[in-house]
Structure 1
Amino acid sequence: MIVIMAGGRSSRMGAEKPVLRVGGVPMLLRVYREAGKVDEVLVALSRNTPRTRELCLREGLPFVETPGKGYVEDVTYLLRELGPFISVSSDLPFVKGGDFRAMKRAFDGRTSLTGVLPLKLVPGDLNPVTYRGYAVVGLNAVGGEGERFLELSNPLLALNVNTPEDLKLADRIAKLVGR
């Protein structure tokens, strides 16, 4: 199962990120469509995201309510309720079905995987979170035993939309790549 994390406060953006449009399409729907090519998908909401809930109801997207206290707390809650799963941030507008397939193939259902990109693949105008020479992306597998990195190859995974400037860049990229 793939769970789209869409219950955060979006404090840096100042608006609910899942409903913001990239290339004319709400980011949540972009992520949902790609994830749905690979597995069953569930959207994780919280009281922090009423507009995202409305979008899910309008589009018929299945969702689950989380406590909404923070990312780690929500992931822990979901692991307890659902068992192991693949998680993806709703603000990764260029995630592709192939990225989910790579994560699913590598996930043994026990050891958590953190999706990363080698820094040499990160476009120069992006400023991703880095750790040990990698850009950390918002695509992960959640298990209960330890953790390891999974190198991915889609350079646009480095664009996690957190600020209005990121949103403008994502919209420009969407127009260039036609999606």
Structure 2
Amino acid sequence: MIVIMAGGRSSRMGREKPVLRVAGVPMLLRVYGEAEKVDEIIVALSRNTPRTRELCLREGVPFMETPGKGYVEDIIYLLREFGPFVGVSADLPFVRAGDFQAIERAFDWKTSLTGVLPLRLVPRDLKPVTYGGYAIVGLNAVGTEGEEFFELSNPLLALNVNTPEELNLAERIARLVGK
């Protein structure tokens, strides 16, 4: 199962990120469209994201409500609800079906996998969260025993849209790559 995380407060953006458009398509629907090629999906939203709920209802996208108290709390809630799953942020507009397939193939359904990119693959205009020579991306496998890094190869996973500037960059990239 793939869970699209879409219940955050979007404090840096100042408005609900999942409904914001990149190349004319809400980011949530961009992520959903790729994920549905791979596995069963559910969108995790919360009281923080009423417009996202409306989008899901309008588009027939399956969703559930989490407590919305924070990312870690919601992950724990979802793990109790579904058991191990692949999780992705709704604000990764350039995630591809192949990215989901790669992490699912590597997932043993016990050990959590944190999706990372080697810094050499990160486009220089992007400023991702880094740790130990890697960019941390919003695609993970959530298990119950331990955690490991999992190297991905799609450089555009480094663009997690959190600010208006990153949204503008995503729009420019979408025009360049035709996505």
Shift of residue 177, structure 1, vs aligned partner = 0.6
Find the counterpart in structure 2 of residue 14 from structure 1.
14
Find the counterpart in structure 1 of residue 137 from structure 2.
137
Shift of residue 164, structure 1, vs aligned partner = 0.1
Give the alignment's TM-score, normalised by structure 2: 1.00
Find the counterpart in structure 2 of residue 100 from structure 1.
100
Find the counterpart in structure 2 of residue 83 from structure 1.
83
1:144-155 alignment runs, 5 A limit: 144-155=144-155
Q: Runs of 5+ in structure 2 lacking a partner?
A: none
3-state DSSP of counterpart to 2:88: strand
What is the distance in 2 between the residues matched to 1:171 and 1:39?
A: 27
Give the alignment's TM-score, normalised by structure 1: 1.00
Shift of residue 167, structure 1, vs aligned partner = 0.1
Matched, 1:157 2:140: no
Following TM superposition, the consecutive aligned residue runs of length 4 or more in structure 1 with deviations greater than 3 angstroms are none
Find the counterpart in structure 2 of residue 167 from structure 1.
167
Counterpart of 1:62, as a letter, is: P
Matched, 1:70 2:70: yes
Q: Percent sequence identity over matched residues?
A: 81
Shift of residue 157, structure 1, vs aligned partner = 0.1
Shift of residue 100, structure 1, vs aligned partner = 0.1
Shift of residue 94, structure 1, vs aligned partner = 0.1
Find the counterpart in structure 2 of residue 31 from structure 1.
31
Find the counterpart in structure 1 of residue 61 from structure 2.
61
What is the distance in 2 between the residues matched to 1:52 and 1:123?
A: 29
What is the distance in 2 between the residues matched to 1:60 and 1:125?
A: 36
